[in-house]
Amino acid sequence: MRHSFVSLLSDHGIPLERIAQLVGHTSRTPTEAVYRKQLRPVITEGAEAMDVIFAQRRGATACEA
């Protein structure tokens, strides 16, 4: 239930600090460690970074061809 709770809050844009408070953690660090897979912003940021990296590579390849 806690994983679902964290996942739903994260999906709706609730800040990590607030989620940590709601699940009873004193800081965001244990929340990040335990619920890393449920935290949408972290996953989204990683996916967006990879999109930028690969878009740059495709652009470099297209220019070189």
pLDDT, position 35: 83
Q: CB neighbours of 6 closer than 8 A, spacing ≥ 6?
A: 19, 23, 31, 35, 38, 39
pLDDT, position 25: 94
**Among candidates 42, 40, 4, which has minimal Cα distance to 22?**
4
pTM for the full predicted model: 0.57
Beta carbons of 3 and 38 less than 8 angstroms apart: yes
pLDDT averaged over 10-residue windows placed end to end, the chain, 65 residues: 87 88 93 78 72 76 50
